[in-house]
Each structure stands twice: as C-alpha cells, then as structure tokens.
Structure 1
Amino acid sequence: MTATRPAVTVDQEALTAWLVAQGVVAAGAELRVDQLAGGSSNPTFRLREVGGDGVDLVLRRPPDRGALPTAHDMDREYRFQAALAATAVPVAPMVALCRDAAVIGAPFYVMGRLDGVVHARAAAVRELPAGTAPAAALALVRTLAALHAVDPVAVGLGDYARPEPYAARQLRRWRRQWEASRVETVPLVGDVLAALTAAVPDAGPDRIVHGDYNLANVMYERARPERVLAVLDWEMATVGAPEADLGQLLAYWGAAGRLLFADRGGHLPDAAPGMPSAAELVREYHTAGELRVRHIPFWESFAVIKLAIICAGALRRVADPTAEHRTRIESVVAGLANIARDTLKE
C-alpha cells in the first residue's frame, strides 16, 4: 500500500562508485538521482546519467527510520523478481543488489526503469477509455493466477518455504509487527489477531505470495493501459498460501479499500462503470488458473488486519506527527480493525 513518508537522500558519489564497480555505469559517469512518488513504504529513486541517454534505472532502499523487522528486505524483493523473470509473470528487469549498508546507508537494489502507467488514483481510473478499466481489473486477477501457477522450487525460491503452515507463521509475524507499532487506542487489532489464530484453515499447496497485491501495485502498458507490464512492490513476498493474495485483492476491492482511499481521491473500483465485483474477480481467478480458493472470509479478514498494522507502522515512521495526523491514522487503524472483525464473521 502507498504510505506518506519524508524525503530520503542518497549519497550520489558513493552510489556512482558502486555502480561503476559493478559495471552498471561507465567510469566518470555523473548520475542524477530523483526520489519518485509511490514505491510503497520503501523509498524509490530514478537514476539517470547527466548528459547521457543510456542509463535510466530505478533504485529501492528501506526508509531511514522506523523500519520494522523483516518489512523492508531488499534481498527478498530482488530475489523474487529475478526468479520470475523467465516466467509468465511480468516483472521489472533486475540489475544489481547491494547488501552492504555502508555504501549509501542501507541495503538497496537497482532495476531497469519501465515506461508504464499505474492506475493508483481514482482520477486516473476515471480517465481511462470506456471498457479499459474493467479489462484492466480482469487482467490484474489473471496475472495473479499466473503468479500462483509458478512452482517456487522450480524458480529457485524453495528456501522461502517453511515446515510451519503459512497462516500460523504469518499471524505470529504480524503479531510481532503489531507489538512494534501498537496503537494503544485500538486494542481491537489484538482481538482480531487472536480470533484469526483460533480460526486458521487447513493449508493447501505452497505457491509464491506477493503479499500486497492490488491495482495500485501493478504497472500497465502506456499504449494499452489494460495490459499488465509489471507487478511492483515485492517487499512482502514469500512462499506460502496463495489464498492470502486473493484475500488481499478482495480487501482492497471492498470496504477496506474504500476507507484507505477516501482521502486519496476515492476508491479505485468505484471510479469507472462496469468494474467487476469481488465475486466476479474470484470467478475470473478460478477460470484463469488451476487453484480453487476456500475460506475467503478468513483470508480477507487477515488481509485487512495487516493493512491496519501497516498503517500503524507508517505512523511510527513519522518523526514527530502532529496531533491531527496521529488522530487520523488512529481512526483508519480502528476502522480497518472493525472491518476485519466483521469480515471474519461472514
């Protein structure tokens, strides 16, 4: 999900020296580094060579402060996208990974820049040609089905699988995240996590899980804005229950998404006529792929409570939030917790 965050600087001299050593840019090159909007909770930058026309890259790194454990893993983002490069799942081309935080103050990776569009705002969805928005929504869910058709072992990601069932280990992880960014005024988050823990469904086959799959995390072709160009923001990717991704998409498509996007120009699925319903998305997913999702209320509720915890984490990353900002975020966290509770009861 998109989060508001302060500007982050990058040591251009150190970065350029490292890129030269990796053979990514030529010796003597001078880079222009511009921070981009979006990029979820990991700051994202465009790298261009001054006076040149060959280097046009994107860099991602963790935030300067407030990073939660396991939530900003550059190695994870890089590996998952690199592993999917030869599959039917569209991703950006990976260029180089730096695990050494001493270079620019944090680990980072560099990828090729894609010239596409992201339908991240309701205004952008409303401006699409007639019929394009519904087609883009169906392409979104078909791409998810393609992701879940990939065997994680076959593409070198089998080491992310764990003997413990995905839901159990994820609930434990998100409880830790909640403890690290707890909003004391919203104890309901802890109650929902406890209810989910008591209702964990049987596990199916492990697949690659994106972790935050939604319309705003997918780039479309500029000339054909209903065709997916790349899936973005892999910071939560893992191997586990594919149902989690469909639950996440449905969470954004429903009341949780409506709440999150209320102050960002409106809910994306409400922005254009003919957008498929949640039930139609599920049918398209089943038609396009081989998997059949069960226990949808559990997975959607789990997705919503994760969004609540992410919002709490975003508040933690703000150095000195105003009382108004804190109240607004706490209200969103509370609203999401209520939606998660009600969804689990369905």
Structure 2
Amino acid sequence: MSATSVDPRQVLDAVVLRKFLEDNGVDVVGDLSIDLISGGKSNLTFSVTDGVTRWIARRPPTGGLTPSAHDMAREWTVTRALGQTDVPVAPTVVFDADGDILGAPCTVVEFIDGSVIRTADELDQLSDDDVARNLDGLVTTLARLHAVDYEAVGLGEFGRPAGFAARQVKLWSRQWGIVKTRELPDVEKLVTLLSERVPDDARATIVHGDYRVDNTILDPNDPGKVAAVVDWEMSTLGDPITDVALMCVYREPVFDVVLGFDAAWTSPRYPSADEIAQRYVTATGNDLGDWEFYLGLASLKLGVIAEGISHRARVGASAEAGAEKASEATAEFIANGLRYLG
C-alpha cells in the first residue's frame, strides 16, 4: 500500500461496524463489505453493504487533521435536522460521536441512488439542456438551504452567526499556519485586506461551506433534480453569501490542479461565475453585498484548503494519489483574492 492510499479494512472494521448497526436497531442480514469511494480529498467516504441494503459511512482522514475541518458531529447534526425540510439530504442512520466504537467519529447514512458528476468527461455526457437544468437545480437547492428557519429545525445553537465573516478570515489565517508547506507572504497580505473590509451586517442562515456540483447526488433520471446534498463537514450558521462566493470561485480553472483532473464544475459548459451569482440573486431576492470581499475570502479559503491537501498527503493521510500537488494551486488562488480586492 502506497503512502497516499487508504485500505478500508485498516480504518473501518466490518465486524465492529455490523455489531454497531445491529446494537442500534438496524437490520443487517449478512457480513458487511466495505469499499472506499474515490474522489474525496477530505473526510473518507465508504460504501457499506450487507448484500441487500447499502449505506454510506464517513469518518475523518487518518492523519494531517486541521481544527474544525473534519467535524463529523457537524455533519450529523445538520443532516439530521434538515431531514425535516425540503433540502434533500441522505437520511441519517447511526453516529459514533466519540469514535469509541469505530476508532474515529463516524456517521452512517442511507444510500441515495443517483449520479455524482465530478469530471468534465462525465459532464460531457449531458446535453446542453441537461447542463442548464442542472445549474438551475443547484442554485434552487442552495436557495432552499438558505431559506430554512434554522431555529425551527433545532439548529439555533449550531453556530454563531454574529461576526461570522470576521471569524472566517481569522480561521483560515490560523489554518494556513498549521498546513503551510512554505512561506507565501501574499497570504498575510490577503488576510490583512480582508480584515479591513469585513461587512458590518449580514444575513444569518445555514451555510454548507463547500457547495458545488460534485458535492451533490443527482436524480438518476433527471440531472436537474438534486437527490441529496452531501459533504456537510464545514457547515454552520453564518453569512449565506460565503456559500455563493465559494461556489463561484470553485469555477476557476486552477481548481483542476487541486483535484488532479479536469473537473465538471470548472467546465466552460456552465455559465460564468458572475452569471451563477446573479441567478442566486434572482432565486432569492437577496443582494450580494460587498461581492469582492466574499470572492477574496473564498479565494483565501481555497488556497489554504489546497495547501492542506498537500500537507495531508505528505504525512501519508490522503486517500488520493497525487494529492501532494494540490498546493501548486495555492499561490494562484491567493493572487486572485488580492485581485478581487483591488
């Protein structure tokens, strides 16, 4: 096994997981088979089946962790609450909150049948009409998330929305200090500019924190319908425009370097970032505020995330071959952030 590969048998024990499911009232008819699902560069995602029923299990990476970036309790809490709304999520099954049973905090949810579009080649299997409807479905789903009354669904204590943007600037500055693989003075320059420009007022909603097409499962018969939004580990209560900006900055071609392949979401078959943002405005009736600030903050976040992926690869904790190259995108993301702020 290479230093950057993950053997599911070593990080998620099938016998222990079966007993855990059964102890929590889940009907398991046979021995479990567990397979690592490729494509993730953060929390590890596994397909679990007893030959009849299929589940999805998620747990943090095996090393190279950064504070708050792999919070399984966060995923569990928000998806359990959203199960009572019109935001599509996978129904929750069981949660080992402390990792005392499964060796690490681990969520298990129902399997959602559908397609995940990650690569440009996969996107090219869709017609132009399908791509247009897919974007409409993505924007509509994000608008639904931001419209949820978080108090009504029991998420009033899920985060601290007051001062969210300012804390995000500080958070990603701290994260940089943890994961950086070299000195990059422009990071501190961007942090300083962002700190001086934090918006005074902002709406408070549930934010996903990592929203783009490949963090959704699409209806198998309709790419315009989102069957489930996944990867909630960075969700919280905060400023919804941070979600919109991040979705748009992910459209930068340099994101392909982070992923290690030509991504669907960077494809020119989708509209420009500006058009996507305007579609969100149309769907919600809300303006984008200081849009350049939000684009700069998203660029800082993605630059640090790219660096963190390489950091984890270098300590042997990545599930993806070639992940150590992700930091090659960091400087461009940071430069873009400085450009947005003028």
TM-score under structure 2 length normalisation: 0.90
- Identify the residue that residue 42 of structure 1 maps to in structure 2: 43
Match of 1:294 in 2: 289
Aligned length: 333
- 1:267 to 1:31, Cα distance in 2 relative to 1, 3 A: closer
Query: Alpha-carbon deviation of 1:221?
Result: 0.8
Which residue is 1:14 aligned to? 16
Residue of structure 1 equivalent to 2:138: 140
CA shift digits 1:194-239 (9 cap, x unpaired): 2111110122221001001112211111111221111111010000
Provide structure 1 residue ranges, at least 5 long, that are not aligned to the other structure. Answer: none
Which residue does the alignment assign to 1:78? 76
State the distance in 2 between where 1:326 and 1:5 align: 10
Give unpaired runs (5+ residues) of structure 2. Answer: none
Question: What is the deviation of 1:271?
Answer: 4.8
Question: What residue number does 1:338 align with?
Answer: 335
The residue aligned with 2:275 is 280
- Distance in 2 between residues matched to 1:14 and 1:193, nearest whole Å: 45
Aligned Cα root-mean-square deviation (Å): 2.2
Letter in 1 for 2:45: T
SS in structure 1 opposite 2:88? coil
TM-score of the superposed pair, with normalisation by structure 1: 0.89
Describe how 1:78-97 pairs up with structure 2 within 5 A: 78-97=76-95
CA distance in structure 2 between the aligned counterparts of 1:19 and 1:258, rounded to whole angstroms: 38
1:286 maps to a residue whose letter is V
- Counterparts of 1:304-315 in structure 2, within 5 Å, are 304-315=299-310
Q: Displacement of 1:281 after TM fit?
A: 1.6
Identity of aligned residues (%): 34
1:145 touches 1:288 (CA, 8 Å); kept in 2? Answer: yes
Which AA in structure 2 matches 1:339? N
Counterpart residue number, 1:221: 219
What is the deviation of 1:184?
A: 2.0
**Aligned residue runs from structure 1 range 316-331, under 5 A:** 316-319=311-314, 328-331=325-328
- Contact 2:254–2:329 (Cα < 8 Å) also in 1: no
User: Is 1:117 matched with 2:119?
Assistant: no
Amino acid paired to 1:265: D
Amino acid at match of 1:97: F
Hey, what's the Cα distance between the residues in 2 that align with 1:115 and 1:22?
Answer: 24
| Change in CA separation of 1:267 and 1:112 when aligned onto 2, cut-off 3 Å | closer
**Runs of 4+ residues deviating >3 angstroms:** 4-8, 254-261, 266-269, 324-330
- Could you tell me how far apart the structure 1 residues matched to 2:141 and 2:323 are? 36
The 8 Å contact of residues 161 and 239 in structure 2, kept in 1 or not, is answered as no
CA distance in 2, matches of 1:255, 1:138: 21
**Whole-Å separation in 1 of the counterparts to 2:184 and 2:204:** 33
Amino acid at match of 1:38: G
How far does residue 5 in structure 1 lie from its aligned partner after superposition?
6.0
Q: Retained in 1: the 8 A contact 2:256–2:262? A: no
